[in-house]
Amino acid sequence: MIIRNHLPALYFAVCIAHPAFAGSDDVNFSRDILPLLSNNCFSCHGPDEANRESGLRLDKPDSAKAKLESGHVAIIPGDSADSELFRRLISTDADIQMPPHDSGKSLNKSQIALIQKWIDGGAEWSGHWAFQPPVRPVVPAAVEDWQQHNPIDNFIHAKLKTRNLSPESPAAKETLIRRATLDLTGLPATIPQVDAYLADASEQAFERVVDRLLDSQKYGEHMGRIWLDAARYGDTHGLHLDNERSIWPYRDWVISAFNSNQPFDQFTVEQIAGDLLPDPTLRQQVATGFNRCNVTTSEGGSIDDEYYMRYAVDRVETTSTVWLGLTAGCAACHDHKFDPLTQKEFYQLFSYYFSLTEKAMDGNALLPPPAVKVPTGTQLADKQKYTQQLADTDQQIAAILADFKYVDPKPTEPLGELSSEEFVWIDDNTPPGAMLAGDGTPPWQFVEGPDHPVHSGTRSHTRTGAGLNQHFFTAATEPLVVGENSKLFAWVFIDPNNKPKTLQLQFNDGSWEHRATWGDDLAFAAGQDSETNRGMGPLPEAGAWARLEVNAEKVGLQPGAKINGWAFTQFDGTVHWDNAGIISESLSTEQKRSQFAWEQFRKSVKAPTLSEAIQKSLDIESATRTDEQNQQIATYFLQHVHPDSQTLLAEPLQQKTKLQQQLDDIEKAIPSTLVMQDLPEPRQAYVLERGQYTEKREAVSSAVPTWLAPPVPNAPENRLGLAQWLVQSEHPLTSRVTVNRFWQQFLGTGLVKTSEDFGLQGEQPSHPELLDWLAVDFVESGWDVKHFLKQIMMSATYQQSSNVNPEKVAIDPDNRLLARGPRFRLDAEVIRDQALAVSGLLIETIGGKSVKPYQPAGLWKPVGFGGSNTATFVQDKGDKLFRRSMYTFWKRTVPPPAMATFDAPDRETCQVRRARTNTPLQALVLLNDVQYVEAARKFAEQVMMNGGTEPGARVVYAFRSVLSRLPTETEQQSLSNLYEEYLSGFRGDPEAATKLLAAGESSRNEELDSPELAAWSMVTHVLLNLSETVTRE
């Protein structure tokens, strides 16, 4: 007997029956019955073995029809009355009734009737539709008198016919070109483009438009921007400090992949496993950034193992959502409750992503490894040029040295006393390249004598603060190199009237874990007397300059360490700092004339500046060195040590330094991007009980769920094998899920509405045969995306009018059957880009580092972590204010507000379907955000300069710029009136006009009359706010 369960009521009964899909009289198991069983029964009687009640399993026919321990049989084909399942569905006895009352689930009468009909009809079983490979279905016969352009229309029309609906007539040409241009490029059609299309009376007119748009570079930007939601692309790490990360070359790769129409299977393989392809190109490595877009942390105190686990889980969930349309994440904790994915299979997928060389803690770094450099063409050419010049210079040096004829004056004399050399790094200025930071504004306060104590030069830097506070820099371009017995020093002056409790110097060689503390141990890393924080004793005397000094090795800086950053930290008090640097031992000038002396010195005091090769040669006894090694050492000595030969070489050496610097600058300017790379030996993955990283169970290795699609023969057991499995032609999901997402993009809703879930809990497709036809066609076309999109756009279904007909609404409220063209609000980015385009502000450069256009002050600060490099928003200037929105810097913990208001996701997790809300906050953005006020006034300039001289003509120009169509007579009239009214208003209040025309940072065309321009700005601002403007009709 079926025992009542006591599980908490997790799932709410939702009736999935949709009016649009009803119709067929036959009971279809996969369409009608399986969703009911899944939704109401599988929680306790499904694939999840651990939570299965009474041994009854309803997701498999054998067990559903087998005799249970209790002696009952849940389903007896042909006999609903004796089927225990049916008896319990109709029972009113609370002890017997199924689903149990406290589960919160229930079936309605028609659903129960469906089940009865199915059992009585033989209880035929089939698998879930989405797990069977698609087969190209027969295209339905054309409905007479309706226009079919391609098979899409046959499928759509056949269904419409069964519901007594008919398609709409084609949309007006103006509507159509605006629709197509927005859909394919995310930008509005220009007036000349519209005119050209209107003038083209040929049958191919629209096809020409589509071809032109598919060839436009803006197509790749638009398609790429949508893909980046799925890739969860952002410009910051997302967790805790939310520091900047550099992965935009991946974003640019996506754009170019769409523009070059890379076949979708290849697009897939390169993103999942580009690095594992044979001899991967740089581009293929960059593509793997897809799986480095996940959020990462470096929060102090975090435990590595927990995050290795979380990153891998995120990658499985994302891969699964994007390519499989499955909610694999459920199986991280237990066997999937609805789909046949076991927990073990989840961790087999997890294993593919568990062996990266990445560290669990991202170090809050711009480029947490693995990363690759991605030089531009110019950078590569310059690099080649300078490298050649460097070789020429080296030859010149060699020639001079050949003439120098050096003989060691003291070839046997033991090394005498050494002198000490002090190198001051921070004095009146910080070293080149230093990025200054710290508490307060500005973080570094330089002050001059005589009002302030100064130790050397003309100024010192000072700080007053309560509690722990500091100023520091990082990223010095010429690092301070630590040698043997080096000491780091800084001069300090403590204000006798406001003494600090603690002074601390911190040094950065890539990490800040090198600290020396004087006074009470209250500074960062307090209480840890180790090289990360060395206690140095009491504070120096107040009221006088004192020198703080610490042995580099004592704070964990070994010879060779390169210091690029330095922090001056204090707890309370007022402190002046001056003259800081390093002391190292060195030879006297006389000693430098002897190669032997120098060699002795370098053997005892290893110089970190020496290349490894030189140092290696030096370590060999001179007698046993090869000629080549001796030559190498002698050359080095004359070039870099001997004072006389160095004088002779002054000019070429200077040239050499310059060239090296130029090469270095290029090297630094070359952008880098995060990529995937596996450990040489895979990290062992385990099934994790309840998804807890500490609860390891069975060891598993990488494998695909073969019940979905067979493994690819000879595929490697790594991500490449996974990618190949996803794109094999028999895969039931990849092609369906992909075409469905494109359909959603162009027709507003997917054929499967839940484009992220094709599993048993997902919605049934509105047109299953069409979905399969499209999926098969897509694969057979060679996964040709442009071909696929063109097919959609050329269909009569796409091209029909989107006007809403109330009678149709009554039958199909959500327009799932497409008895009219879809209409929906534009995406956040498109709304902004459209305003920039029509106002002439848009900068069309493709790619590059992300930019920071306008956003209201004070958004990052109130929530940002003080030490984060994205805690303070610094707005960009000039062209960067007007780039397409996909290039806007995406800080994930505070996404750009105007984008978020229009439903852009936060990009913390993968998202394949955006919401489309309609809210008052959106109205406020379009009415008041400076971006739109400025766009309106620049748009007005366009209107005045290009729209003719008569107000009437100008209204037409403005109207067509945004909406492509001509205004109606009333629209024309009321906008003209509006203009006249505002004009007379501004004539009487010219100051208001001046203020309004000052919005934004772009310059104003001063030749245009101010009240007129202001009045036109009001008209254009109205146009930018129209419902039609933010809608793709």
Partner 1 sequence: MTHPIRESELIETRRHFFGRAATGIGSAALASLMNPTLFADSPAPVPGGIGGLAGLPHFAAKAKRVIYLFMSGAPSQLDMWDYKPGMKDWYDKDLPDSVRNGQRITTMTSGQKRFPIAPSIFKFNQHGDNGTHVSELLPHTAKMIDDLAVIKTVHTEAINHDPAITYIQTGSQLPGRPSTGAWFSYGLGSMNQNLPAFVVLHSTVNGGFGGQALYSRLWGSGFLSTRHQGVSLRSSGDPVLFLSNPDGMTVPMRRRMLDELSKLNQERFDAVGDPEIQSRIAQYEMAYRMQTSVPELTDISGESKETLEMYGPDVSKPGTFAANCLLARRMAERGVRFTQVFIRQWDQHGNLPNDIRRQCGIIDQPCYALVQDLKQRGMLEDTLVIWGGEFGRTIYCQGGLTKENYGRDHHPRCYTKWMAGAGIKGGTVYGKTDEFSYNIEENPVHIHDLNATILQQLGVDHERLTYRHQGRDFRLTDVHGKVVTGILS
Number of residues binding to partner 1, judged by CB under 8 A: 120
Residue 812 contacts partner 1 per CB under 8 A: no
Residue 313 CB, nearest approach to partner 1 (Å): 8
Cβ closer to partner 1: 135 or 809? 809
Kindly indicate which of the ranges 150-158, 220-228, 701-709, 969-977 contains the residues binding partner 1, using the contact rule CB under 8 A.
969-977
Cβ closer to partner 1: 91 or 977? 977
Of 679-718, which residues contact partner 1 (CB under 8 A)?
694
The answer to whether the CB of 716 falls within 8 A of the CB of 722 is no
Of 930-949, which residues contact partner 1 (CB under 8 A)?
930, 933
Residue 12 CB, nearest approach to partner 1 (Å): 5
Run of H or E residues at 539 = none
Of 411-430, which residues contact partner 1 (CB under 8 A)?
none
Q: The dihedral of CA 299, 303, 307, 308: what is its sign?
A: positive
Cβ closer to partner 1: 300 or 414? 300
Distance CA 492, CA 461 (A): 10
Kindly indicate which of the ranges 158-166, 188-196, 491-499, 923-931 contains the residues binding partner 1, using the contact rule CB under 8 A.
923-931
Strand partners, 685: 700
- State the DSSP string of 187-219: SPPPHHHHHHHHH--STTHHHHHHHHHHHSHHH
Of 577-616, which residues contact partner 1 (CB under 8 A)?
none
Q: Which of 139, 366, 415, 992 binds partner 1 (CB under 8 A)?
A: 992
Amino acid at position 222, single letter:
H
Residue 953 CB, nearest approach to partner 1 (Å): 19
Residue 803 contacts partner 1 per CB under 8 A: yes
Of 843-872, which residues contact partner 1 (CB under 8 A)?
856-858, 861-866, 868
The answer to whether the CB of 727 falls within 8 A of the CB of 715 is no
Residue 296 contacts partner 1 per CB under 8 A: no
Integer Rg of the chain from CA: 36
CA nearest to 285, candidates 378, 380, 371, 377: 371
Residue 9 contacts partner 1 per CB under 8 A: yes
Classified as helix, coil or strand, 729 is: coil
Cβ closer to partner 1: 466 or 623? 466
Q: Which of 32, 756, 829, 833 binds partner 1 (CB under 8 A)?
A: 756
b or e along 578-596 (b: 16 or more beta carbons within 10 Å of the residue's beta carbon)?
bbbbbbbebbeeebbbbbb
Residue 364 contacts partner 1 per CB under 8 A: no
Kindly indicate which of the ranges 120-128, 277-285, 301-309, 541-549 contains the residues binding partner 1, using the contact rule CB under 8 A.
301-309
How many Cβ atoms are within 10 Å of 517's Cβ, its own excluded?
A: 26
Residue 538 contacts partner 1 per CB under 8 A: no
Residue 196 contacts partner 1 per CB under 8 A: no
Of 462-481, which residues contact partner 1 (CB under 8 A)?
467-468
Residue 683 CB, nearest approach to partner 1 (Å): 19
Distance CA 1006, CA 792 (A): 47
Strand partners, 299: none
Cβ closer to partner 1: 460 or 744? 744
Q: Which of 527, 537, 538, 680 binds partner 1 (CB under 8 A)?
A: 527
Distance CA 248, CA 328 (A): 28
Classified as helix, coil or strand, 299 is: coil
Residue 36 CB, nearest approach to partner 1 (Å): 14
Cβ closer to partner 1: 790 or 891? 891
Distance CA 200, CA 794 (A): 16
The size of the chain, in residues, is: 1033
Cβ burial, residue 856 (10 Å; 0-12/13-18/19+): exposed
Cβ closer to partner 1: 950 or 989? 989
Q: The dihedral of CA 428, 666, 851, 438: what is its sign?
A: negative
Residue 977 contacts partner 1 per CB under 8 A: yes
Amino acid at position 563, single letter:
I
Q: Which of 379, 445, 528, 635 binds partner 1 (CB under 8 A)?
A: 528
Kindly indicate which of the ranges 80-88, 456-464, 771-779, 892-900 contains the residues binding partner 1, using the contact rule CB under 8 A.
892-900
Classified as helix, coil or strand, 94 is: coil
Cβ closer to partner 1: 847 or 895? 895
Kindly indicate which of the ranges 18-26, 737-745, 758-766, 782-790 contains the residues binding partner 1, using the contact rule CB under 8 A.
758-766
Tokens of 965: 């169509």
Cβ closer to partner 1: 11 or 258? 11
Q: Contact letters (x/-) for partner 1, 226-245, by CB under 8 A? A: ------------xxxxx---
Residue 918 contacts partner 1 per CB under 8 A: yes
Backbone angles phi, psi at 490, to 5 degrees: -155, 145
Q: Which of 700, 727, 830, 997 binds partner 1 (CB under 8 A)?
A: 997
For the packed helices 173-185 and 217-230, what is the interaxial angle rounded to 10 degrees?
60
